Amino acid sequence: MINKKIFFLVFLSTTILASSKVGTAVYRWAEIETGARAIGMAGSQVASGNGISAIAYNPASLGFINGNQIYVSKSSYLAGTSHNTLAFGTAISSSDFVGAHLYYFDSGEMMETTEIDPEGTGQGFKFTGLLLRLSYTKQLTDRLKLGGTFKYFNEKTTSADLSMNSVAFDIGSNFDTGIFGMVLGMCISNLGPDARYSGVGLDVQQEDDQQKKTEYFPIPLTFRVGIMNNIIGSDDKSAYMMPGHRLTVSMDAINPLDYKLNGSFGMEYAWKELIFARLGSHLNHDTAGISAGFGIMYNNFAIDFGWADYEILENTWQLGLSFDF
């Protein structure tokens, strides 16, 4: 397990080395797919996201809340790591929506190694990440929603007592084209300053009597665009009308500045908006493959489960619970 964990963390922090874009970015853990519905659809949520859990992909998703919504999730991620969320969104008027989304990443306990003790010092440590999103969405027309998110990042390593803090912004839109139910979504994520580590672990004097410092690294600026269409549905916006049934198809293109262009494809079938089945596939991704999931809605309470295959890095899953009131 330790070897897998080390391999995964190296992969997470140096993913960009596999692409032609040379550089390094921080807070890679914050780019992990979250939201059980989203995971079941391979993360294709830029246009199809419809609640507080989807603001990680597009803040305009907040504009689909009716009243109030609470969301919590628990996951089992790669190599013994985990990430969990707690979120709340509300409609403060018929066209204004606000929400808060708290995301926590935990690497789990790992063995500390040094140049002197490459086999381990006998001490353990772990790496944690906290991301707070505060979002606002405005419905400008019955077909257009615009949203923005303020993000606060906090990253810590326990062994060296190091931390890194930064802020960034996301801007997104959701537009119903009015053409056979086609919906377009766009989002620019992580607009913000570079970040670097600080803390007691860097209080080491160099030979020239200068304090040790780390370099500044950029937050992974990411461009997303997505399309969504209800192939089957209960209204005239769908390509084919079939009361009680809905089949949604979505596709996203994702262009991180520190990684190669990739994408995702997802489908969701709903029976009377009570039972849901999902399927997805990651496109041009180094490790992520197919995904699947399901959901059940009863009296405004929903339970969702998402699963994804990361090939040599194991499978992952997330369980999500939401309540609308």
Beta bridge partners of 72: 86, 321
Residue at 154 is within a domain: yes
Residue at 117 is within a domain: no
Q: Which two tokens stand for residue 268?
A: 């969701």
Number of domains the chain is built from:
1
At residue 109, the pLDDT reads 76
Q: What is the pLDDT along the chain (325 residues), one digit of tens a residue?
A: 444 444 444 444 434 333 444 446 788 888 899 999 999 999 999 999 999 999 999 999 999 999 999 999 999 887 778 899 999 999 999 999 999 999 999 887 776 666 676 666 767 778 899 999 999 999 999 999 999 999 999 998 876 678 899 999 999 999 999 888 899 999 999 999 998 888 766 655 555 555 556 788 899 899 999 999 999 998 888 888 899 999 999 999 999 988 889 999 999 999 999 999 999 999 998 888 999 999 999 999 999 999 999 877 778 999 999 999 9
Residue at 33 is within a domain: yes
At residue 115, the pLDDT reads 66
- Geometric angle at alpha carbon 163, from 160 and 166, rounded to 5°: 165
Separation between Cα atoms, residue 320 and residue 73, nearest integer Å: 4
Which structural domain, as residue segments, surrounds residue 289?
A: 2-110+124-324
Nearest to 34 by CA among 19, 51, 17, 18: 51
Separation between Cα atoms, residue 19 and residue 29, nearest integer Å: 18
What DSSP string runs through 157-210? ETTTTEEEEEEEEEEEEEEE-SSTT-EEEEEEEEES--B--EEGGG--B-TTSP
User: Tell me, what DSSP letter sits at residue 14?
Assistant: S
Residue at 207 is within a domain: yes
For residue 33, the domain's CATH number is 2.40.160.60
Residue at 64 is within a domain: yes
User: Tell me, what DSSP letter sits at residue 212?
Assistant: P
Q: What is the pTM for the complete model shown?
A: 0.85
Residue at 183 is within a domain: yes
At residue 80, the pLDDT reads 76
At residue 196, the pLDDT reads 86
